[in-house]
Structure 1
C-alpha cells in the first residue's frame, strides 16, 4: 500500500517572480501581460519539480502571492495604511537574537495595511488566473490531485488588523462572508482548498500574549466558527486546514501546546489536518494524537509534517519513515498523508531553506513515504 505525499503549499519563487511581485507591491511600472506569463511559466516549473520530487498532491507554490495572508489586500476592498508589527513573544525574550534577525534581513518586509473600510471582493480575476495556471500545469504533468491555499478569516485578522468594524467578531464575520466565495471557487474548479490557520497557534504569542490560555482558546474557537461559516457550502472532504506556530527559526518557548489547541483544531470543517511535528519544539507532540485517539473524528486524515521547513538539514528517509509510522499506528495507513511542517516560501523572496535543498527535502519525504508504505 502507498502513503500519499503533499506539503503545506508555498515553495521557493525564482527571482524573476519575486521582482514582478515587488514591482506590483511597490507600485513600480511593470507589464501586466509579462507578469501573467511569468507566473504561468513559474507555476508549470514548480509543478514539474514537485512531480520530479515524488509529491502526489501538488500546489501552485503560492507563486503569485506576496504572502499567504496579506495577498487579500490586493483582491478585496477595505484595506489601507499600515498595521502595527507584533514580534512574537519568544523573540522578545531573546532581544539579541531578534536584533540579529533584523540586522541579517531575517524578517520579511511587506505591506500589512489595516482594515479601514468594508471588506468586499474586487472580483476573482487574480484567483481565476492562479487556478488556470495550476490546472494547466497539472494536466501537462499528469497530476490528478492538487490544492490551492487560501487565507482563513482568522489569519487575515492577525496580520491585517481591524480599524473599521466595531468588534473583532464583526470583523471576522465580514471576512468570512467575503472569503466564502473564494473557497467555493477553488473547490468548484476541481481543487482542494487549504485554509492556513496560524491564528489558532501563532497568534497566542504574537497578538494575544496578554491573555490566559483559556481566554485565547475562546478566541480561537470563534475563529473556527467564522471559518466553518465560510465553509458551510464546501464539502468537508475537499478541505485541508494547516496550523502552525510561526515558520521561523527561533526559540519558540512561548508556543501554546498541541494538547491545548487539539479540540479547537478538530472542530474545523476539514477532512485533512496538517500540523508541525518535525521541528524540535513540537516533535514530541505526536503523543497528543496517540493519547487522544478516541477524540479524533473517524473522517479526519492526519497530515503530519515529516520534514522541517526552517533548517537546511535534509532529513534521512529513515527518519521520515519513523515519523510516518507513529501516526500510522494511531489512525491507520489509509488515514495518513506525509507532509511538511510549513511552507518553504511563506513570503515572496524570503525563506530560510535554500531552494534546491527545499526540493531535496521533498524528495526525502517521498522516499520515506514509499518505504513506510512498503513496510506496512
Structure 2
C-alpha cells in the first residue's frame, strides 16, 4: 500500500503572547528580546507537537515568528521604508458593501507594508537561524524527520512591498533574487525543505495587474518565475515546494485567473512539490485541468492539492478529503500526490478566519482522509 503523506501550506494559528511580541517589534515598542525568544521556542514546540498529534507527516514551524508570509522581509533585509499603496483585490471592489463589511468587522489585517526605497541587502541570518533551531529542536522532541520552512518569493515581495528605488520591475526582481538566495540555501542546508509562497503568480493578476491583458500578465508571471529559479540555482528541485494561490480570504473570487492559464507558469518553477488550491469553491472544479493536461506535467513533479479549505470553519469529512486525493492519484499516481491545505491557517499574525482548535481539527480530518485514500488505492 502506498501511504499518501500529508502536509499543509505553512502558517498556523499563533498564541496571543506570540502575537504580542510580534506586534511590539512591528510597532517599534520596547520588549524583552530574551523573553521573546523563549516565547517563540515554546510556541514552535507546541505547534509541532499539535501537528504530530493530528497525524501531519511533513510539518513546519507554523511561521510562528513572522508578521506575515511576505512582509517579514522588511525586518531581515535593508532597503525598505515608508508605506506601499494598498490595493484591494478586484473581486472585492466589485462588491463594495462586502468590502466595507470586511473592513468594519476587522476582516483586514493590520501590518506595515513599506516601499522598497533603497538597495536590498541581507541583514544576516540571525532571525532565520533562530527559526531553524526552534523547528529542528521541536522535530527532534517529537521524533519527526521531515519538515519544511517557508520563505517569500521575489515575486510576492515585489507584490506587497512595491518598488520605488530600482529603475525597472526586472531590476527589482533581480535584486530580490540575489538578496534572498542565501535565505533559501540556508534553509535547505539545515536539512529542511524550502517552501516558496507565490501568490504573485495568481492573486496579483486582479490585485496589481488588472489593467493588463491576460497575455501581458502571464509575461510578468513568467518573469517572476525566472527570478525565482535564478535564486534557486544552487538548491536541488527535490528540496523545493512552491505554493500558488488566489488569496486566502473569503470573498467572491470571481476575478481569479483560471488555473488553466497559469498551469505552464507553475510547471516551469524549479520545484518538485507544487501546492495549489482545490477546495476553494471557485477552483474545486479545476482538478480537471491536471487531468486534461496530464502529458504536460513533468515526471518529477509531485502534486500537493489543497484538500481542506482554510477560510471557513467547516471541518471536511474524511471521505470528502479522500475523494479529492483520489482524483489526483488517478492522474499522476498515488506515489506523486501529497495531501495538503488550500492555504495557511495563520497568514497574518493575530488574524485568521478559522478558529485555532478547528484548524487542527481540519488537519486531523486531512490525515484521516489520506489514510482512507491510501487504503482504497
Q: TM-score, normalised by structure 1?
A: 1.00
Match of 1:159 in 2: 160
In the alignment, the residues of structure 2 paired with residue 327 and residue 241 of structure 1 have an alpha-carbon distance, to the nearest angstrom, of 17
- Alpha-carbon distance between aligned partners in 1 of 2:322 and 2:79, rounded to the nearest angstrom: 47
Cα deviation, residue 260, structure 1? 0.1
Aligned counterpart, 2:256: 255
Provide the secondary structure at the position in 2 that maps to 1:77: coil
Whole-Å separation in 2 of the counterparts to 1:374 and 1:107: 42
* Counterpart-to-counterpart distance in 1, 2:213 and 2:249: 24
> What is residue 307 of structure 1 aligned with on the other side?
308
Alignment map for 1:199-218 (pairs within 5 Å): 199-218=200-219
Alignment: residue pair count = 376
- Mapped partners of 2:160, 2:146: distance in 1: 30
Q: Could you list the runs of 4 or more consecutive aligned residues of structure 1 that deviate by over 2 angstroms after TM superposition?
A: none
Once the two structures are TM-superposed, the CA of residue 361 in structure 1 deviates from its matched residue by 0.1
Q: 1:22 offset after TM fit, Å?
A: 0.2
Q: How far 1:375 moved relative to its partner? A: 1.1
For the pair 1:30 / 2:31, whether they are aligned, the reply is: yes
Q: C-alpha separation between the residues in 1 aligned to 2:129 and 2:34? A: 15
Q: In the alignment, what sits opposite 2:325? A: 324
Matches of 2:303 and 2:132 in 1, distance apart? Answer: 25
SS at match of 1:106: coil
Q: Report Cα offsets for 1:132-190 as digits up to 9, x if no partner.
A: 00000000001110000000000000000000000000000000000000000000000
Distance 1:93 1:83 in 2: 22
Q: What is the CA–CA distance in structure 2 between the aligned matches of 1:287 and 1:374, rounded to whole Å? A: 23
Superposed displacement of residue 324, structure 1: 0.1
Query: Displacement of 1:225 after TM fit?
Result: 0.1
Alignment partners' CA distance in 2, 1:86 and 1:202: 12
CA deviations on 1:58-107 (whole Å, 9 max, x unpaired) are 00000000000000000000000000001000000000000000000000
Residue in 2 aligned with 1:124?
125
Query: How far off is 1:279 after superposition?
Result: 1.2
Query: Which residue does the alignment assign to 1:141?
Result: 142
Deviations 1:351-375, CA, capped at 9 Å, x for gaps:
0000000000000000000010011
Q: Does 1:189 align with 2:190?
A: yes
Name the SS of the counterpart of 1:304 in structure 2.
strand
1:372 maps to which residue?
373
> What's the counterpart of residue 364 of structure 2?
363
Query: 1:192 offset after TM fit, Å?
Result: 0.3
Shift of 1:274: 0.1
In structure 1, C-alpha distance between the alignment counterparts of 2:232 and 2:26, rounded to whole Å: 30
Query: What is the CA distance between 1:276 and its match in structure 2?
Result: 0.1
For 2:275, the equivalent position in structure 1 comes to: 274
Structure 2: distance between partners of 1:123 and 1:230: 17
> Do structure 1's residue 2 and structure 2's residue 7 form an aligned pair?
no
- 1:29 deviates by 1.1
| 2:178 paired residue number | 177
Tell me how far apart the structure 1 counterparts of residues 293 and 136 of structure 2 sit (CA, whole Å): 38
In the aligned structure 2, how far is the partner of 1:343 from the partner of 1:157? 20
TM-score by length of 2: 1.00
Q: Secondary structure at the match of 2:36?
A: helix
Describe the SS at the equivalent of 2:150. Answer: strand
Identify the residue that residue 71 of structure 1 maps to in structure 2: 72
Q: Distance in 2 between matches of 1:124 and 1:295?
A: 38
Measure the CA separation in 2 of the matches of 1:237 and 1:160: 29
